[in-house]
Amino acid sequence: MDPSAHNGILSGLEHIDQNLNQENICFRSDICRQSDVGQNTNGNDNQVTGFADQSDNIQQQSASAIPDRAHVLVHKIVDCPGGVTCPQLFRINVVGNSPNPSQFAIRNHDTVQVDIGRGSYQVTESLLQPTPPNLVLNTIYGPDCSGIIESAGTHKFCQIINEYILRPAT
């Protein structure tokens, strides 16, 4: 065996890419910790050269990928009588455990995903455009527009229908 080799890794070669044939064995007794680049590293960063000990390179799952939130999909439908111009822009308000977004504008046939924590929630809307005097507005909220999120990763579908009806002529 080559005297400059340790566990199959040659140490006497120059200008070799550090990533070739690396076994990722830690030769230090320091404890493992999380590095800035999301890798589990053994040992300490080399403060002088700026190189990190790349032992035990295990990719860690990022915190944003962990499903600790639920999702409410808000879908908007505007039912408008033929030949009539109906409002098409509405403001949605979501209350609950840190909804994101908690307020947004939505148009006919749009769908917006709201991330929300566990607990009770409610989705409501307000008009951003007035209802024309020749129309009567009937707003219908689907069953998932309010309720309780019991566990992370839950998906709810809140459909809000604005049904415009022609006001009878007087």
Domain interval for residue 77: 65-166
What is the rounded average pLDDT for all residues in the chain? 75
Which pLDDT score is estimated for 52?
47
Domain boundary among the residues 60, 90, 110 is at 60
For residues 78 and 137, state if they share a domain: yes
Strands of the 58-59 sheet, one edge to the other: 32-34, 39-42, 58-59
Comparing 115 with 21, which gets the higher pLDDT?
115
Lowest mean pLDDT among 4-8, 60-64, 142-146, 152-156: 60-64
pTM of the model: 0.60
Outline where the chain has alpha helix (H). Answer: none
For residues 82 and 139, state if they share a domain: yes
For residues 48 and 77, state if they share a domain: no
For residues 86 and 129, state if they share a domain: yes
Over range 96-122, report the average pLDDT: 97
For residues 89 and 141, state if they share a domain: yes
For residues 89 and 15, state if they share a domain: no
pLDDT in tens, 119-158: 999 999 999 989 999 999 999 999 999 999 999 999 999 9
CB 134 within 8 A of CB 84: yes
CB 106 within 8 A of CB 112: yes
Question: Cα–Cα distances in Å, from 111 out to 92, 157, 159, 167?
Answer: 11, 10, 9, 29
Domain boundary among the residues 15, 36, 60 is at 60
Which pLDDT score is estimated for 12?
53
pLDDT in tens, 12-45: 544 444 443 333 444 444 443 333 444 444 444 4
